[in-house]
A and B are shown apart, each in its own frame.
Chain A
């Protein structure tokens, strides 16, 4: 891989250990994936925050980077944490709170914007053809497919290294030739709501693995539906992107079909129980302003049951601009939580056993990552079940 004189100096430790080790990570990964050089990035999004998911694992390394005075070189954000400071924090042991706060503080000291969300694209719109280094696979697929930005699926350390250097290896979907669709998915039945878009993602992700699909005949969708499709694809497969409009001038490629029966099976396989939920969760990935508004509208004149909790998870940024919807949700007995979500917190420890959600990604992960039963249903049904 070609390195500039400046990059060589960093690699040789002239700028300190934090940058040396970051450069080593980028150069070695670049070599492994046949990159020709490093390219500048506009932003980084870093995973590896939730104390629930990782425990103490990242603390030693992050502390070493901070001690070596590592600071990010580009606009950088981080994934959600194990709890929000207002509602959930006090329900966990002090030790959890201290460790989680410490991890967030280490990122802060590296000048990462600790906004703690999986939807960084609502904070800072990324543009077409911008090169990024994002971890959080749902955001990666959304960025490549809907925003038309260019990012590989980074891991926690490689996104952090890219943030510290401000560059990423030029490989994978940073190269136009690797962004071509190579499988056509013929939709014989259109998903009818966001839950079905997510279920389609989980189903297709299992079939496609790391291939880049083009979904043919998808109609009547919103950006929020495509967000669910992105999250589903990213969870069960290794793809970095998809197309939802048939690209012009396309070589003949392999074709698969998904019909109504396939869609129905995909939906049904993501529910593990018929029991009533004790937690209803909307906000995986974190809610857009539009989704918070939709929840507020659906809750009008309703009241959340006393035996059920309703969580709406979003970023602090969206919560701030959605104030009047947040008020409606809270008056109806729902909780609008920032910085966290049901998957990255300890819902089992809070006494929840059955989670209902409109997110196929959550329904896919919760039984294993959280040890709870899951029910997948569209937003309106979730709100109806949560309320009297």
Chain B
């Protein structure tokens, strides 16, 4: 199995391992993700119908209402939040959401090198992502 190590910018510390769920589109948590299931519901999104629960969620950045941060908190509290977040370039909605929900987060990572279902290990403190290709 091929392993890649990427270095990004640490945003929220913490360690997580899991399967990647990768999107090339920005995610709006308010209105875009069902807060009761963790399923992405935004129409014509590349993750529409996919569940973000317990995934290493990789996407370029957040967009939309700043209330989206609160949705991340609620998801995490219900145990259906992502295990970690990897962004191309962090924006305040996702950063604040990850802080309050205590979700390890890294940005400035080339997410195109990660594919859905790759095994990913995230070190939020050092900003290191280890990817074991599927």
Residues of A that sit less than 8 Å from B by CB? 21, 24-25, 28-29, 32, 47-48, 53-62, 64, 135, 154-158, 161
Contact = CB atoms under 8 A, between A and B. Distances in A.
State the main secondary structure of chain A at its contact with B: helix
Which among B30, B71, B96 has the highest number of chain A CB atoms within 10 Å? B96
B24 interface: no
Which among B30, B65, B66, B71 has the highest number of chain A CB atoms within 10 Å? B66
A100 B118 CA distance: 42
Interface in B54-90: 65-71, 73-74, 77, 90
Nearest to B95: A28
A47 B99 contact: no
Interface of B: 11-12, 30, 35, 65-71, 73-74, 77, 90, 92-93, 95-96, 99-100
Given A29-B92, A54-B30, A61 B66 contact: no
A267 to B, nearest CB: 28
Contact of B66 (A24, A60, A62, A155): A155
Given A32-B90, A57-B67, A135-B66, A155 B74 contact: no
Contacts of A54: 30, 65, 67, 70
Contact of B74 (A48, A57, A156, A161): A57
B100 A157 contact: yes
A59 B74 CA distance: 8
Contacts of B100: 21, 24-25, 61, 157
B66 A48 contact: yes
A155 B70 contact: no
29 contacts: A24-B99, A24-B100, A25-B96, A28-B12, A28-B95, A32-B90, A48-B66, A53-B67, A54-B67, A54-B70, A56-B74, A57-B35, A57-B70, A57-B74, A58-B70, A59-B74, A60-B74, A61-B73, A61-B74, A62-B70, A64-B73, A154-B66, A155-B69, A155-B92, A155-B96, A156-B70, A157-B66, A157-B69, A157-B70
